[in-house]
Chains A and B, each alone.
Chain A
C-alpha cells in the first residue's frame, strides 16, 4: 500500500497527461477519419473509433498493472522475455495469414495481434539489461557487438520472415541510446552519409558521388595525418567501403528492393510523377493537409478524409485528418505535444540513477521519436512511404498496447528512482 502510494507520488504525471491527451485526440480523429455520414456513435464497437477507445482503456489497464508490479522484475526477466519474444517472432510467420503481403498478424480467438509491436519493448529491456550490467562500458566499437546482435536478430526476423520492413526499421532507433552511451557519433554521420550517397546515386549518377567521396576522405585523412597513423587506414578503408556501397546502390535499388518500395522512393525523389498510381497516397495526403489552411475545416468537416480520398487514413495516414480538420494550428499543436513528450522522456532518462533505467528510457524516447519521424515524414512527403503507426493516434490495438507497455514500464522505473537511490 505504501509502495503504491509512493509510485503515485513519484509518478511523472506530466508525461502521463500528455499521453492521455494525445491518445484521446487521436481517438477523436479516428472517429473523424472513419466517419461515413451514417452517424454511428463514437463509442460504437462496430467503428474503429469505438474499438480504439476499448484499446485505450485496455492500455490504461495494462499501465495500471505495470505500475502495481515490482520494478525489479523487468531487470531480472529481461533476457527471458527476450528469448520468449524471439521464439514468438519466429513462430509468427508460420501461424500468420497473409495480410497485404505481411506475415506478422496472428489470431488469438477473435482478436488479431501483431507480436512485432511488443518486440520493441522487449528488445529495449534486453539491451538496457546488457548495457546496464555492472562494469559494462562502451569503450570502442567492439563493446557494441552484443547490443547490435540483440537488435539485429528481431529486425531480421521481422523484415525477412514477416515482411514488415517498416516495423523492422524502427529498431534503428536504438542507435540513439547507443550514441548516448558512448558509441561514436561518426557512426550516425556515417549512416547519414550512406543515405546521401544512396540518394545521389539513384537520383543522379555515380560519378559525382565517387568524386565527392574521394575529396571528402582526402580532406579527412589530411586533417588527421598527424594524430594517429591508425586513423588514415580506417578512413581509407571506409572510403573503399563507401565506394563499394555507391557501386552496388543501383543494383540494390533495382534488384534487392521490392518493386513497390522502389517506386515509393522514385516518387519521393521526384523521379516519377504518378499521382494516380504509386504517388496517389502522398498526393492525396498533400491535398488533404494543404486544404486545411490555418484553422482547418473543423471537426468532422474534412472532405478529403471523409470521402476516402486518402487511403489508410485511420492508421498510417491519420495525420491527414489532423491537418485537414484542425489545420496548421492543430497540426503544430500535435507536433509540439509530441516534442514535449519525447523531450520529457529524455529528461526522465537523464535523471535515472541506474544505467538500466536510463538506457531503457532513452530507448523508449527514441522509439517514439523514430515513429513520429517516419510517419509524419511520410505523410508530409519528406520520406518514402513506410507503413508504421503514429503512436497513440493510428488505429490499432497491438500498436496501442505496445506503446503503452513501453511508456508505462518507463514510468514505473522512473517512479522507483527514489527507492533505488536508497
Chain B
C-alpha cells in the first residue's frame, strides 16, 4: 500500500524501534563497560573462599635436632541447616563431655549474626575449637550419627623440649593491628607473636591456600569454581635451622634453674648464638592453644618478670669484666704500654681500693689475673689525661670521646642492628654530654668518673653484649653480630675494631692466668685452655650480681660465654661454674665434672639466691 497518505509514518515507527534498541545498547554499554563495580558484587555473591592453612615451618637446632613442630588440633564444625529435626543433641554432648546447656549457649552464639558476622546456616560454623585428639576420638567414630557435624583439622605448635622459650617465642591469634598492617592476615589466623616466631614469621608461615567454591543464592556450596582453575594450593612454611645447641641450652637452663640470671654462649668465629638462657622462663607449651591467654596473663603478672628476656634486655654494670676492654683501649690509645706497672696498696689504695691480695707494683697480666682495681684506675686516668686538660677542659673531653668511641666499637651502648634477635636493650656508655649535664662543662675530670675504670658507675651492658665482648677478644679484634638463624647470609657482616691484635693477645694471656692462678682457678679445666674474667657488680638495690665472661680454648676459640646471676655475690662463686660447665659441655660434648655440677646445685639449694 505504497500510495496511501500515511505512508511516511512507517519511518516514524521504524525510528521508534531503532531508538529503543539504541537506548538499550547505551544502557548496556554503561552497565557492562563503564560500571566497574558489578564484577566485584558478582564475585561477592557467588564465590566462597575456603582458606587452606599451610603447616608452619619446623625449627631445628644447629645439629638438626627437631625443636618445634606442629600438633594437630581439631575444630568441631556444624552446618545448621543439615542438622535435621531429630538431631541427637544429648548424644553429641555426651561424646564431647559437655552439658546440654554449653551446647545450647554455643549454638545461640553462632547463630547470632551480630556476634558471628559470617554466619550462614548453610556453611560450616565452628562449634568447638582446638580440641585434642583425645577429646574428639569418641565423636569421630560415631560422626555418621550427627548430620551437619564435621571435624576440621588445624595445627598448633608443639615443642620437643621445655626449653628456649625466649628464643623461640610463641604463636598466637592475630589482632586488628596485624590485620591492618598486613592484608595477608584475616581474623582468626595465627602469627608469630614474639621471638623467632615473630622475626621469621613470613618465612615460617608459608602461604595460605585458597579454594574457590561456588555458593548459590541460598548460601549452599555448589562445588568448585571453574574446576579449581583459580584455586591456590597452600604452600607450607619453610623449615629453619637455628644456631642454638639444644644440649648446651638445656644444661645452661638447668644450671640457672632457681636463680634469676642469664647466660649467653656464642661461637666467636661466626657470631652464632649457641645458647641464650634467661631465667626465670616458662615451658613454651604453656603458650599454645586455648590455655595461651590465661597463661600469658600469669606470666605477665609474675613479679620476677619471666617474659623479659634478661639475656638481651636486662642491663647491668659490667664490673671487673670491663677491665679487659679498659686494658685494650688504654694500650691502643697510649695510656699504658705492655710494660707499664702501677703500685697497689691493697685496701689502703686511693682513690679506689684493691680487694685482692697480691704483690706490688703490678703489670697488665697480673692486674687482669688479680683484678687489681688501682691498676685500671691509673691506666684509665693516664689514658684520659695523656695530654692534660686543656684551657677549657677540651683536650680532656676529646680524650674521653676517643675512649668512648673505642669502647663502642665493641658493640656496647647500642643495639645490634644486623641481627635477628628481636628484643634488645641498648645499654649505656655515658656520653660527654651526659657528664656535662650532671657536673657542668668544666665540672668533671678523670677522678670524677673513676668508677668507669672498673666497670661501675653509669656503664650498663646486656649479657648478650658481654658475650659478644668475650667473642671479640677470642677473635682478637673482630666480631660478627650474634644471631640465631644458621642459614641467613645477611647476618655475617664482620665488624672490625681498631685495636691491634698484639694487645688482644696480651689480654688473652691475662684471662688465661685468671683461670690458672686468679679468681677462676677453682673452675678451670687445663686441657680446655680456658680464658675468663670474673666480675662482682655492686648493686645498690641488694646483693651483688655475679658475672663471668670467657672463652675456650685460648687459641682458635670455639665458644665464648657470658653469665650473669643476680643478687648472689661473687662472680667466681656463682657465675664462673655455670660458664665453665657450659664450655665443658660444648667442647667435650658432655659434662665430666658431675660432682661439680651436683655441688653447684646443692650450693643453690643452700643459698637464698632465688627471690621466690
Contacts and interface: CB of A to CB of B under 8 A. Distances in A.
Interface string B1-45: 110011101101110111011011101110111010111011101
Nearest to B45: A309
A331 B32 contact: yes
Contacts of A37: 222-223
B24 A308 contact: no
A368 to B, nearest CB: 10
Interface in B216-258: 216-218, 222-223, 225-226
Contacts of B225: 303
Contacts of A208: none
B215 interface: yes
Contacts of A290: 31-32, 35, 37-39, 41-42
Contacts of A362: 13
A31 interface: no
A343 B38 contact: no
Contact of B217 (A182, A307, A323, A327): A307
Given A180-B6, A181-B6, A286-B31, A346 B17 contact: yes
Given A287-B41, A307-B222, 4 more contacts: A37-B222, A176-B13, A291-B42, A355-B1
A219 B225 CA distance: 63
B79 interface: no
Nearest to B25: A332
Nearest to B226: A301
B223 A304 contact: no
A254 interface: no
Nearest to B223: A37
Contacts of B45: 284, 287, 303-304, 307, 309
B47 interface: yes
B492 interface: no
A380 interface: yes
A382 B41 CA distance: 20
A289 interface: yes
18 contacts: A284-B45, A286-B38, A289-B31, A289-B32, A291-B41, A294-B32, A307-B45, A308-B217, A323-B31, A331-B28, A335-B21, A335-B25, A342-B17, A343-B18, A351-B2, A369-B17, A372-B20, A380-B31
B23 A382 contact: yes
A307 B46 contact: yes
A43 to B, nearest CB: 23
Nearest to B38: A290
Given A328-B29, A338-B21, A308 B216 contact: yes
A306 B18 CA distance: 32
B268 to A, nearest CB: 63
Contacts of B214: 303, 306-307
Most buried by A among B12, B13, B14, B47: B13
Nearest to A303: B46
A332 B216 contact: no
Contacts, number: 132
Given A37-B222, A323-B32, A377-B24, A185 B38 contact: no
Contacts of B17: 339, 342-343, 346, 369
B27 to A, nearest CB: 5
Interface secondary structure of A, over-half rule: helix
A293 B42 CA distance: 12
Contacts of A292: 32
A396 B17 CA distance: 25
Contact of B9 (A180, A366, A372): A180
Interface of A: 37, 176, 179-182, 185, 284, 286-294, 301, 303-304, 306-309, 323, 327-328, 331-332, 335-336, 338-339, 342-343, 346, 349-355, 358, 362, 366, 369, 372-373, 376-377, 380, 382
A354 B32 CA distance: 45
A352 B31 contact: no
Closest 6 CB pairs of A and B: A290-B38, A291-B42, A303-B46, A307-B216, A328-B32, A308-B217
Contacts of B5: 182
Contacts of A349: 10
Contacts of A353: 1
A306 B37 CA distance: 20
Interface in B23-79: 23-25, 27-29, 31-33, 35, 37-39, 41-43, 45-47
Given A180-B10, A307-B46, A287 B38 contact: yes
Main SS class of interface, B: helix
Contact of B28 (A291, A303, A332, A355): A332
Contacts of B35: 290
Contacts of B216: 307-309
A154 B276 CA distance: 95
B334 to A, nearest CB: 80
Contacts of A294: 32-33
A362 B6 CA distance: 14
Nearest to B32: A328
A293 B12 contact: no
Contact of B42 (A288, A332, A335, A380): A288
A286 B39 CA distance: 10
Interface string B381-406: 00000000000000000000000000
A343 B16 CA distance: 10
A185 B6 CA distance: 11
A107 to B, nearest CB: 30
Contacts of A303: 42-43, 45-47, 214, 225
Given A287-B42, A287-B45, A339 B6 contact: no
Given A309-B46, A328-B33, A350-B1, A289 B222 contact: no
A181 B20 CA distance: 22
A301 B214 CA distance: 12
A145 to B, nearest CB: 19
Given A328-B32, A335-B21, A291 B38 contact: yes
B2 A350 contact: yes
A350 B18 CA distance: 17
Contacts of A355: 1
Given A289-B32, A328-B29, A331-B32, A304 B21 contact: no
A354 B1 CA distance: 7
B46 A382 contact: no
Nearest to A366: B13
B33 A293 contact: yes
A409 to B, nearest CB: 18
Contacts of A307: 45-46, 214-217, 222
Contacts of B215: 307
Contacts of B43: 291, 303
Given A181-B6, A339-B18, A380 B39 contact: no
Contact of A309 (B1, B6, B31, B217): B217
B43 to A, nearest CB: 8
Contacts of A350: 1-2, 7, 10
Contacts of B12: 179, 185
A195 B13 CA distance: 19
Contacts of B47: 303
B217 A380 contact: no
Contacts of A182: 5-6
Given A303-B47, A382-B27, A346 B10 contact: yes
B28 A293 contact: no
Contacts of B6: 180-182
A178 B27 CA distance: 30
A377 B27 CA distance: 10
B14 A293 contact: no
A185, A290, A343, A355 — most chain B CB neighbours (10 Å)? A290
B249 to A, nearest CB: 55
Contact of B21 (A176, A309, A327, A339): A339
B13 A179 contact: yes
Nearest to B34: A290
Interface string B199-224: 00000000000000011111000110
A219 B260 CA distance: 102
A254 to B, nearest CB: 29
